[in-house]
Amino acid sequence: MIDSHVHLNFDSFADDLQAVAERWRQAGITQLIHACCRPQEFPQLQAVADRFPEVALAVGLHPLQASEWDPDTEESIRELAQQDARVVAIGETGLDFYKADPATIEQQRMAFRRQIAIAQQLDLALIIHCRDAAIVTREILQEIKGIRAVMHCWGGTPEETRWFVEMGFYISFSGIATFKNAKTVQQSVLEVPSDRLLIETDCPFLAPVPHRGQRNEPAYVAQVAQMISTLRQQPLEEIIATTTQNAQRLFALTQ
């Protein structure tokens, strides 16, 4: 399996990351994509990838950090992406209107558009965070042609899911899909073609059932795969094989 979105540099992993890695390897996780919330943390991501060669990297600015966007941030993201061959994506970027200060909305839009441009220029995948912002995200992405992208930790409605599938994007589901009350997300799981489906943990957040409320970790992506298998009534082995191939294609990964 491939966990297509992790944050292993967070403090919650500081004391036992080696043990966490041993568990993900035992669970059959062969590759992980380490997302980035701001370019200043990129050296931490590199340190993780130095320790664990199965970790590939992204670099970008999270929408909730959009107030930090300036020309130096843009140039830093571009340079870091070019300097480290382990970078396979720009992000996570996107729009988050759930927690955002209204004063930052325009900055979110600008930062998102500029990071899309960087991904295009460097032929890298784009990791998109979209929370309570599907309509505007769709409007921006409709302006763009020829971009490889994933809607990460997807929580949208079936209709919104169809919007982004029709645009050719991948849809990645997290532990939310295992939550008893997440009926909308579970319905959205059924809308995604097999060749556009990904799985992730978004660890340390959103641990799946039966670990809900605990720190999440990459090994738990197995529970996400199992729930998707159940919802779609497809063999688990098929879900694992398909999502692995899709992640390899999206991020241009080599084994």
50-86 per-position pLDDT tens digit: 999 999 999 999 999 999 999 999 999 999 999 999 9
Strands of 2-6's sheet, edge to edge?
2-6, 31-34, 55-59, 87-96, 125-131, 149-151, 170-173, 197-199
Share of the chain above pLDDT 70, in %: 100
Confidence grade of residue 241 (pLDDT, cut at 50, 70, 90): very high
pLDDT tens profile 140-189: 999 998 899 999 999 999 999 999 999 999 999 999 999 999 999 999 99
Residue 255 has pLDDT above 80, yes or no: no
Q: What angle do CA 206, 26, 2 make, to 5 degrees?
A: 55
Across 31-109, the runs of DSSP E, i.e. the strands, are 31-34, 55-59, 87-96
Confidence at residue 104, expressed as pLDDT on a 0 to 100 scale: 86
Question: What pLDDT score does 100 carry?
Answer: 78
Q: How far is CA 124 from CA 31, 50, 145, 181, 190, in A?
A: 17, 21, 14, 35, 28
**pLDDT of amino acid 102:** 83
pTM score, whole prediction? 0.97
pLDDT in tens, 77-120: 999 999 999 999 999 999 999 977 888 899 999 999 999 999 99
Mean of the per-residue pLDDT values of the chain: 97
Rounded to whole angstroms, the Cα distance separating 215 from 252 reads 29
Q: Note the pLDDT of residue 21.
A: 98
- Cα–Cα distance for residue pair 167/31, rounded to 1 Å: 26
Which pLDDT value is given to residue 103?
Answer: 82
